[in-house]
Amino acid sequence: MRLDQLSGVIAFLKVAETKSFTRAAVELGVTPPSLSEAVKGLEERLGIRLLNRTTRSVGLTEAGAAYLERVRPAAEEIQAAGTALADTRDRPAGVLRLSLPWIVGPLLIEPLMGRFLDSYPDIRLDLVFNDGLVDIAAEGFDAGVRIGELLEKDMIAVRIGGPMRMAVLASPTYLAEFGMPQRPADLARHRCIAYRFASTRAISSWDLIENGREIAFTPDPRLSANTMPLVVEAAAQGVGLAYTIEHLARRRLEEGSLLKVLEPFLPALDPLHLYYPSRRLIPTKLRAFIDFLRAEEK
């Protein structure tokens, strides 16, 4: 069906319902002549008259009545679909599908997901964790989260949370045996635990700063894993030094099973950013998520 034929069908249905071109035009917000042209065009494409017109009335032909009987159910389905969408537009509901790097799980999702779902019982979360760059529009995501705001030009970024700090961590028993590193160059003499990217199998480098110069140290790890909680746990067990976002080891730091080393050389990271494709007509479920995150920051 061509687009102009669809507009003709809509015009025909409204005229058949109101039995008046004038009233139908008012309800559709168009002029009577344009409405008449739409119906006329439909009849010409179908090759049959659907309406009998006089100066006083409008009625269905036999063919028009048969056509109306066939197209009305479809029109009602379209209207019902629009009503359902309007309901979700006004009420946060549906599946909120998010693309997330692994770090967002313990940093953001785990502490907040229960309260968010309690606050919005009609929303369901579909969380997909992937360290690679994801085309969220092509992959069917409502939004994604990334560290920093270096995004494609057609993406909108919303900061969530403040800056994060990196940390090099070790257990007291490890430091008692192998000593405290004093500067980045000392790392080469220590046992290290590394995060390995699942998608590329590459070891994540340790970014440090010394005398204003950025240093990227890539360890030759005694242990590597693609899950950061295990890296932190291994450090607490004395396996070696670990490099991670400080917040992920907060409990271990508070209880004293991990200590921070090389603190003057550790950089701060950019905050997390939620990103999505357009400012226009943001889904209510996504707007609810953004507002919830901002409220949690206060």
Rounded Cα distance between 177 and 73, Å, is 79
- Domains identified in the chain and CATH numbers: 3-90 (1.10.10.10), 94-162+271-297 (3.40.190.10), 164-268 (3.40.190.290)
- Give me the tens of pLDDT residue by residue for the chain, a chain 298 residues long: 444 557 788 888 888 888 888 888 888 888 888 888 888 888 888 888 888 887 677 888 888 888 888 888 887 777 777 666 665 566 888 899 999 988 888 888 988 999 999 999 999 999 998 877 778 887 889 999 987 756 666 688 888 877 788 999 999 999 999 999 999 999 999 999 999 987 788 999 999 999 989 999 999 999 999 889 999 999 999 999 999 999 899 999 999 999 999 999 998 888 888 988 876 668 889 999 999 988 887 6
Rounded Cα distance between 271 and 145, Å, is 10
Query: What pLDDT was estimated at residue 156?
Result: 84
Query: What pLDDT was estimated at residue 298?
Result: 67
Q: Which residue is listed with tokens 């080469």?
A: 188
Radius of gyration, alpha carbons of the chain? 31
Q: What is the DSSP letter of 266?
A: P
Write out pLDDT tens, residues 223-277.
999 889 999 999 999 999 999 999 899 999 999 999 999 999 998 888 888 988 8
Query: What pLDDT was estimated at residue 258?
Result: 97
What does the block give as tokens for 167?
Answer: 């940390």
Q: Is 169 helix (H, G, I), strand (E, B) or coil?
A: strand
Residue 158, CA distances (Å) to 60, 110, 155, 286 in order: 55, 20, 10, 12
Largest distance between two CA atoms of the chain: 102
Contacts of 113 (CB under 8 A, 6+ apart): 125
> Cβ(292)–Cβ(109) under 8 Å?
no
Q: Where are the alpha helices (DSSP H) in the chain?
A: 3-18, 21-28, 32-46, 62-90, 104, 110-119, 172-178, 228-236, 250-255, 284-297
> Cβ(275)–Cβ(133) under 8 Å?
no
Element (H, E) at 160: strand 156-160
> Cβ(176)–Cβ(165) under 8 Å?
no
Rounded Cα distance between 188 and 192, Å, is 9
Residue 251, CA distances (Å) to 4, 58, 161, 258, 296 in order: 64, 77, 19, 9, 20
